[in-house]
Chain A
Amino acid sequence: MDAREVILDKYSGRVFKNRKDHIVELDEAGVPKEIAANSRSVPGMMINRGCCYAGCKGVVLGPLRDTVVITHGPIGCGYYTWGTRRNKADSPDGRNFVQYCFSTDMQETDIVFGGMKKLRQAIREAVEIFHPKAVMICSTCPIGLIGDDINAVATESEKLYGITCVAYSCEGYKGVSQSAGHHIANNGLMRRVIGSAKDKIPERGLRINILGEYNIGGDGWEEERILKKIGYEIVAVFTGDGSYEALTHAHTADLNLVQCHRSINYIAEMMKTKYNIDWLKVNFVGIDETIRTLREIADYFGNEEIKQRTEEVIAEELADIAEDRKFYRQKLEGKTAGVFVGGSRSHHYQNVLKDFGMKTVIAGYEFAHRDDYEGREVIPNIKLDADSKNIEQLTVHPDEQFYHVALDKERFDELRKENVELEYYKGMFKDMGDGTIVVDDFNHYETEKVLDIFKPDIFYSGIKDKYMIEKKGFPSNQLHSYDYSGPYAGFKGAIVFARNTYLSIYAPAWKMLTPPWRTQPTLEGTMGDENYA
Chain B
Amino acid sequence: MLDMTPKELVHRKALRVNPAKTCQPVGAMYAALGVHRCMPHSHGSQGCCSYHRTFLARHFKEPAIATTSSFSEGACVFGGGSNLKKAVKNIFDIYDPDIIAVHTTCLSETIGDDLKTLIQQMEIPEGKIVVHTNTPSYVGSHINGFANMMTGFIKYLSDKNTPATGKVGIFPGFVNPGDMHELKRIAKMIGVKYTMFPDTDGTMNSALTGHYEMYPKGGTTVDEIRELGGAQHVLALGEITSVTPAMELKRKCDVDFSSLPLPIGVEATDKYVMALSHLSKREVPTELEEERGQLLDIMIDSHAYYGDKRVAIAGDPDTVLGFAAFCLELGMKPKYMITGTPDEKFTKKAKELLLKYGVTDCIAKANTDLFELHQLIKNEPVDLLIGGTHCKYIARAEDVPFVRAGFPILDRYVHPYMPLVGYRGAMRLAELISNALLDRQDRDAEDKDFELVM
Q: Which residues of A contact B (CB under 8 A)?
A: 10-12, 14-15, 40-54, 70, 73-80, 82-84, 94-97, 99-108, 110-111, 118-122, 124-126, 128-130, 140-142, 144-146, 171-174, 176-177, 386-387, 390, 444-445, 448, 462-468, 470-473, 509, 513-514
Asked if B67 contacts A173 (CB within 8 A), the reply is no
Partner of B70, one of A42, A73, A468, A470: A42
Flag if A96 contacts B16 (CB, 8 Å).
no
Q: How far is the CA of A177 from the CA of B47 in the complex (A)?
A: 8
- Residues in B with CB closer than 8 Å to A144 are 76
- Chain B 46-73: CB-based contact to A (< 8 A → 1; otherwise 0): 1110111111011001111111111111
Q: How far is the CA of A23 from the CA of B367 in the complex (A)?
A: 48
What is the CB-to-nearest-CB distance from A290 to chain B, in angstroms, rounded to a whole number? 30
Tell me, yes or no, whether B21 is within 8 Å of chain A by CB. yes
Query: Is B210 in the interface zone, CB < 8 Å from A?
Result: yes
Complex: how many Å from CA A473 to CA B76?
A: 41
Q: Nearest Cβ distance between residue A16 and chain B, in whole angstroms?
A: 11
Tell me, in angstroms, the Cα distance from A164 to B78 when the chains sit together: 37
Give the contact stretch, choosing among B132-140, B265-273, B429-437.
B132-140
Minimum CB distance partner of A97 in chain B: B4
Kindly state whether residue B75 has any CB partner on chain A within 8 Å. yes
A94 touches B4 (CB 8 A): yes
Given contacts A42-B90, A74-B138, A141-B107, contact A444 B16 (CB under 8 A): no
Cβ–Cβ contact B88 & A44, under 8 A: yes
Interface-centre pick from B13, B44, B91, B212 (highest chain A CB count, 10 A): B212
Whether a CB of chain A sits under 8 angstroms from the CB of B452 is no
Task: Give 1 or 0 for each of B3-32: 1 = CB within 8 Å of chain A CB.
Answer: 110100010111111110111011000000
- Residue pairs across A and B with Cβ atoms less than 8 A apart, 15 shown, are A41-B46, A75-B340, A76-B48, A80-B52, A103-B15, A104-B15, A118-B14, A121-B14, A125-B13, A141-B45, A141-B76, A172-B46, A464-B50, A464-B64, A467-B61
B280 is an interface residue with CB less than 8 A from chain A = no
- Inter-subunit contact B73/A173 (CB<8 Å): yes
Is B74 on the interface with A (CB-CB < 8 A)?
Answer: yes
Contacts of B91 in A (CB 8 A): 44
Contact A95 B209 (CB under 8 A): no
> A107–B89 Cα gap in the complex (Å)?
33
**A119 contacts across to B, CB distance below 8 A:** 14
* A-B complex: 8 closest residue pairs judged by Cβ atoms: A51-B47, A76-B23, A44-B87, A473-B210, A172-B45, A44-B90, A121-B14, A94-B3
**Contacts A75-B340, A80-B55, A100-B2 given; 8 further ones with Cβ under 8 A?**
A84-B54, A101-B17, A111-B110, A141-B105, A172-B47, A173-B71, A444-B95, A473-B209
Q: A42-B70, A94-B4 are in contact. Are A467 and B76 (CB under 8 A)?
A: no
CB <8 Å contact, A173 and B107: yes
**Contact flag A54-B51 (CB < 8 Å), given A74-B23, A125-B13:** yes
Q: Are A473 and B211 in contact (CB under 8 A)?
A: yes
**Docked-complex contact B14 and A104, CB < 8 angstroms:** yes
Contact between A445 and B95 (Cβ–Cβ < 8 Å)? yes
B454 within 8 A of A: no
Q: Does B244 contact A (CB under 8 A)?
A: no
Contact indicator A53/B62 (Cβ below 8 Å): no
User: Which residue of B is nearest A120, CB measured?
Assistant: B14
Query: Across the interface, which residues of A come within 8 angstroms of B139, CB to CB?
Result: 107-108
A45 touches B67 (CB 8 A): yes
Whether B137 and A74, one on each chain, are in contact in the complex, defined by CB atoms closer than 8 angstroms, is yes
Contact assessment for A513 and B209 in the assembled complex, using a CB-CB cutoff below 8 Å:
yes
User: Given the complex of chains A and B, what is the CA–CA distance between A469 and B6 in angstroms?
Assistant: 45
Nearest CB in chain B: distance from A485 CB, A = 13
B111 at interface by CB-CB < 8 Å: yes
Whole-angstrom CA separation of A490 from B141 in the bound complex: 43
Q: How far is the CA of A445 from the CA of B97 in the complex (A)?
A: 13
Does B311 have its Cβ within 8 Å of any Cβ on chain A?
Answer: no
B: which residues have CB within 8 A of A?
A: 1-4, 6, 10, 12-19, 21-23, 25-26, 41, 44-48, 50-55, 57-58, 61-76, 83-84, 86-91, 93-95, 105-107, 110-111, 136-139, 141, 206, 208-213, 340, 371, 390, 393, 410
Q: Which A residues are in CB contact (< 8 Å) with B86?
A: 14, 42-44
Known: A142-B107, A172-B46, A173-B71. A75 touches B94 (CB 8 A): no
A335 to chain B, nearest CB (A): 18
Q: Is the CB of A53 within 8 A of B47?
A: yes
Question: Does A100 lie within 8 Å of B46, measured CB to CB?
Answer: no
**With A and B bound together, what is the CA distance between A42 and B73 in angstroms?**
15
**Known pairs A111-B138, A130-B4, A173-B45; A101 contacts B51 (CB<8 A):** no
* Given known A103-B16, A172-B47, A387-B72, contact A43–B87 (CB-CB < 8 A): yes
Residue numbers in B under 8 Å from A76 (CB-CB): 22-23, 25-26, 48, 51, 106, 137
| Contact (A142, B94) CB under 8 Å given A125-B12, A513-B209 | no
Give the one of B90, B111, B138 with max A CB within 10 A. Answer: B138
Cβ–Cβ contact B138 & A108, under 8 A = yes
Most buried by B among A95, A106, A129: A129
Q: Hey, which chain A residues are within 8 Å of B52, CB to CB?
A: 80
Residues of A within 8 A of B206 (CB): 471
- A468 CA to B41 CA, complexed, in Å: 18
List chain A residues, Cβ under 8 A from B74. 386
Cross-chain contact B14 with A74 (CB below 8 angstroms): no
CB pair B44–A141 under 8 Å, yes or no, is yes
CB contacts (< 8 Å) of A177 on chain B: these are: 46
Cβ-neighbour of A46 out of B19, B66, B213, B340 (below 8 A): B66
Given A77-B51, A125-B10, A173-B76, A472-B212 contact (CB < 8 Å): yes
Q: What's the nearest-Cβ distance from chain A to residue B109, in Å?
A: 8
Contact between chains at B4 and A50 (CB < 8 Å): no
Q: CA of A198 to CA of B1 in the docked complex: distance in angstroms?
A: 33
Contact B19 A463 (CB under 8 A): no
B93 partner residues in chain A, CB cutoff 8 A: 10-12, 15
Given A44-B87, A44-B90, A470:B208 Cβ within 8 A: yes
A145 partner, pick from B63, B107, B212, B410, beta carbons under 8 A: B107
* Complex partner residue of B94 from A45, A77, A509, A514, CB under 8 angstroms: A45
In contact, A467 and B18 (Cβ under 8 angstroms): no
**Is there an interface contact between A43 and B69, defined as CB atoms closer than 8 Å?**
yes
Give Cα A387 to B41, complex, Å: 23
Q: Which residues of B contact A146 (CB under 8 A)?
A: 110
On whether the beta carbons of B212 and A471 are closer than 8 Å, the reply is yes
Per the bound structure, the CA–CA distance linking A467 and B59 in Å amounts to 12
Residues of B within 8 A of A52 (CB): 45, 47
Q: Which residues of chain A come closer than 8 Å to B10, judged between CB atoms?
A: 125, 128-129
